[in-house]
Chains A and B, each alone.
Chain A
Amino acid sequence: MTTFLHDTTTIFRREFVPVVREPLGLVFEMGQPLLFLFLFGSLLDGAVGASWQWFVPGILVMMCLTGPLSSGYNLLVELIGGSMERLMVTPVDRTALLIGRALKEMTILFAQAVLIIVLALPLGFELHLAGAVAGVALLVVFGVGLGSLSFVLAMRSAPSGELFYVVTQGLLFPLLLLSGVLLPTDSGPAWLRVVGDVNPVTYIVEAQRALFAGDLTDVSVLYGAAMSFAVAALGLWLGNRAMRRGV
């Protein structure tokens, strides 16, 4: 267990140090959510009732999809190069290789979420602290699961990597658009609502909206939490299995 913690810290540090060395990269990565926040948020103002209350959770979920989903990219690059193989020949714990990386994604996601919330406050976003804390926590859980799935995809895609790009790009927009993250689907045609109902992201968004409205006991929170933990469990299980099997 102590080796596992030691190894997880080692891998986390390895991944995190470059972020600290070049923090600007983090800001660029946030360009899209920030642009969406200021541009669409202002456009939607008044169109969907309490716009910021509705829109900020959506932006957070969007960030939580794009970031973790593409987090396998770095791993893919390391798999195509020789650095992952080099780590696999060291006695470092294989599960730590996964958890250390996932922890870095978690930390970044957390920082980004807090930043978005803070930036939205002066725009008129109303903060319900308990709900916001629960919301961000759920997002991080969901993000870890999604990030691990992205790692698995990267491992399956090496050495060409084609599969990785096809799946992430093919998945991202349908998941986003058909979940009501950015635009409400309530007034859409019936098929859209049916598709929305099978989209796991829909449950996450609805839970987030309830939580950020301070509605901690809303039933959507239960569904959203169940979905987040299910994705996390599945991701970590598959990720761990893939890492142990080797590259």
Chain B
Amino acid sequence: MIHARGLTRVFTMKKARVEAVRGIDLDVEAGQLVAFLGPNGAGKSTTLRMLTTLLPPTSGTATVAGRDVARDPAGVRARIGYVGQKNSAGENHRVRDELVTQGRCYGLSASEARDRAAELLALLDLEPLADRKPGTLSGGQRRRLDIALGLIHRPALLFLDEPSTGLDPRSRADIWAHILRLRETYGTTLFLTTHYLEEADSMAERVIIIDNGTIIADGTAGQLKNDLAGDHITITTHTERDAAEAARIAGATADGLTVTSRVAGAASALPELLRTLEAAGVKVATAETTRPTLDDVFLALTGRSLSDDDLPA
């Protein structure tokens, strides 16, 4: 669905060359749900803007939905849907009018556009709001309208730029329920950026992490966590002697009364470790396992925390 090779974008700002995206290779197959993750300024939006024909690449190529973004931008546009970071509906226009206009922009006939608008109003629970202007809708309702606008022509591939940013937790959950539902209904391939790590973790089948314009990790959330951060077992003891002994057995170092070791599959390794410690006469006070988060993955890769970087752009 998406095939990019050496995709690069250079901006010139105040005579300085800024490489926003540096030679990205990317392959996304049909039907995937991909989360594109990275701190602000990492190149997420620039990549998305190149893939959606809003910005011509400085170099490199990208084929999106079977069309080349540079040679046939109109062909790409006709085949993809796009939900931008900002709200997509014009303030002067009624919800239904904007949906019909959007359909007409994709070449639907007037009656087709009206039918599709009605269908999407129903799908996204917007029916009671159809004759209102966007300014009177709540943040979550506006976001649902944005998604409806992106779906008017039933694209096989939908790009979403920060679909749930700025929403309260309930609206976020609601938006996600709708995204997953439309995927089930239409089998749409979804490519989205987010900076909510737990969202990428729980929803996406594949997580791509970008930093400084380069892709630094790509895989399922589980793979990335196992390969790059790993599970941890943390044990505390009553005496420092026991802690030192436990550290020796677990192959870790003790910090006071606490011993932390990195193990693959911590939950199944823990009982075995406890038995070994008991046999060695070590008295364990507490034991727990921790699964890493995607933030731990980012930390392991860059030495920085993704959430620290998460300042408004």
Give A residues with C-beta under 8 Å from B.
Answer: 3, 6-7, 10, 13-14, 17-18, 21, 74, 77-78, 81-83, 85-92, 246-247
0 or 1 for each of B68-112: is its CB under 8 Å from A? (1 = yes): 000000100110101011111111111001100110111100000
A18 touches B55 (CB 8 A): no
Question: Can you pick out 9 interface pairs between chain A and chain B where the beta carbons lie within 8 Å of each other?
Answer: A6-B104, A10-B104, A14-B93, A17-B93, A82-B88, A89-B54, A90-B102, A91-B74, A247-B54
Contact residues in B for A246 (Cβ distance below 8 Å): 54-55
Contact residues in B for A87 (Cβ distance below 8 Å): 105
Cα of A76 to Cα of B294 in the assembled complex, Å: 39
B93 touches A82 (CB 8 A): no
Question: Most chain-A CB neighbours within 10 Å: which of B55, B97, B104?
Answer: B104
Contact residues in B for A82 (Cβ distance below 8 Å): 84-88, 146
| B105 in complex: contacting residue of A74, A77, A90, A247, CB < 8 Å | A90
Contact residues in A for B92 (Cβ distance below 8 Å): 18, 74
**B224 contacts A by Cβ under 8 Å:** no
**B52 contacts A by Cβ under 8 Å:** yes
Cα of A65 to Cα of B205 in the assembled complex, Å: 56
Cα of A17 to Cα of B85 in the assembled complex, Å: 26
What number of residue pairs across chains A and B have CB atoms under 8 A from each other? 73
**B149 contacts A by Cβ under 8 Å:** yes
The secondary-structure label for the interface of chain B is loop
**B226 contacts A by Cβ under 8 Å:** no
Cα of A77 to Cα of B90 in the assembled complex, Å: 9
Instruction: Add 16 more A-B contacts to A14-B93, A14-B97, A91-B105 (CB < 8 A).
Output: A6-B104, A7-B105, A10-B101, A14-B90, A14-B98, A21-B94, A81-B86, A83-B91, A83-B98, A86-B82, A86-B149, A88-B54, A89-B52, A89-B54, A91-B78, A246-B54
Contact residues in A for B77 (Cβ distance below 8 Å): 89-91
Cα of A13 to Cα of B94 in the assembled complex, Å: 13
B86 touches A91 (CB 8 A): no
Residue of B whose beta carbon sits closest to that of A80: B86
**B53 contacts A by Cβ under 8 Å:** yes
Cα of A103 to Cα of B55 in the assembled complex, Å: 28
Cα of A87 to Cα of B91 in the assembled complex, Å: 14
Cα of A6 to Cα of B77 in the assembled complex, Å: 17
Cα of A212 to Cα of B149 in the assembled complex, Å: 48
Residue of B whose beta carbon sits closest to that of A15: B92
A13 touches B82 (CB 8 A): no
Q: Provided the pairs A91-B74, A247-B54 are in contact, do residues A17 and B84 lie with their beta carbons within 8 angstroms? A: no
B97 touches A83 (CB 8 A): no
Contact residues in A for B55 (Cβ distance below 8 Å): 246
